[in-house]
Amino acid sequence: MIDTSRIERGGLIVLLAVVTASLLFVVSGFASALLWAALAALMFSALNERLLERWPGRRSLAAAMTLLIITFAVIIPAMLIGTMVVQQAAGVFGQMRSGEINFAMYFQQVHNALPGRVQAMLGNAGLGTFELVQSRLADAISSSATMLTQRALAIGANAAAFVLAFGVGLYVTFFLLRDGHALGPTIIRALPLEHSVAQRIADRFVAAVRATLKGSVVVALVQGMLGAITFAIVGLPAALLWGALMAIAALLPAIGPAIIWGPVAIYLFATGALWQGVVVTASGVVVIGMADNILRPMLVGRDTGIPDWLVLVTTLGGIELLGLSGIVIGPVVGALFITAWQILTEQRLAARTASAAPKLD
């Protein structure tokens, strides 16, 4: 006799797999917008709940006000700062092409100020003469110009698609804020896992997202701002641009913003700008460096259990695969990986303990 129930269950699983894959394919063009909408709803859920306490039962109004606050407190300032950074980047690039900014000459000044042994090491590496450095920088500038041109054309061609994705992200954020209280438990119940396991994975997912956004992105933005202020104090051109680069570098643990302020300080010391070099070094070590140690515990509030080396590797890998979204997705995948193996290990240990326990008649 044919077991029709097993066939029906198997057919349902196949149907779910096909429908899910089809849905992912259909919305793949808006994957980034949907991801950031979910992240925004998750990060501002506490604000939404506070507004809901003020207007009980009016979830649509609370969600709309939360979205309004997100727009004026986050989105508009980010767009303004992004525009200023792009303008400064364009100015620096124009000065590089005109010869007003000559990084090869700057390198030569630093090279001449180094000890002889260090100069010999650079010479063995092919970086010891002005001509070699100038040639390599010219190649780098040429390739950068080509890349920037291609990116500019791509942005212009996809401007309408960007506006559409941005609108979809805001629209989805509103509904996630309004209906998130019911959507989250529904997803947990639908997962093909034990309820306790599904709840634990969901909790770790939320903790990892908040830790990444609050403990990494916010801290990186603060460090970038401090770097921009420091560079403006010492008179470095395009201070906002270098601050933005420092914010990006600060997303990488163990490396951090020293990638930016370190070479700047070396150049200042090598060219005789002593007080400027002291200011940059002191700010980098004391102010910018301590910002991570002070702000991260305050913003994260608890240990997520993700080693720094795994955060570094998953962040770099996520950026390489997914671009900007990989900053969040990479560490979250690492956190879920650790959690899943911890759950499996605990279940195996519990099973061994139960099997080894003496049985009572």
User: Is the Cα torsion angle 236, 241, 247, 250 positive or negative in sign?
Assistant: negative
Predicted confidence (pLDDT) per residue in 159-194, tens digit: 566 677 788 888 888 888 888 888 888 888 887 778
Phi-psi region of 193 (alpha: psi -120 to 50; beta: other; left: phi over 0): beta
Burial 178-190 (b: 16+ CB within 10 A, else e): bebeeeeeeeeee
Q: Is the pLDDT of residue 77 over 80?
A: yes
Predicted confidence (pLDDT) per residue in 94-136, tens digit: 766 766 665 566 666 666 666 666 666 666 655 555 555 555 5
Task: From 87, 51, 82, select the one nearest 66 (Cα to Cα).
Answer: 51
Angle at Cα 109 formed by Cα 105 and Cα 110, nearest 5°?
120
Q: For residue 218, give both structure tokens.
A: 């916010």
pTM: 0.67
pLDDT band at residue 323 using 50, 70 and 90 as cut-offs: confident
Query: What is each CA distance from 159 to 147, 155, 162, 163, in whole angstroms?
Result: 18, 6, 5, 6
For the chain, which residues make up each domain, given as ranges?
Answer: 29-137+163-187, 191-348
pLDDT band at residue 304 using 50, 70 and 90 as cut-offs: low
Say how many CA atoms lie within 13 Å of 85 toward its Cβ. 18
Structure confidence at residue 106 (pLDDT): 62
Contact 289, 298 (CB under 8 A): no
Contact 227, 261 (CB under 8 A): yes
Q: Is 155 exposed, middle or buried (0-12, 13-18, 19+ CB in 10 A)?
A: exposed
pLDDT band at residue 141 using 50, 70 and 90 as cut-offs: very low
Longest dimension (CA), the chain: 91
Predicted confidence (pLDDT) per residue in 310-320, tens digit: 777 887 788 77
Structure confidence at residue 328 (pLDDT): 79
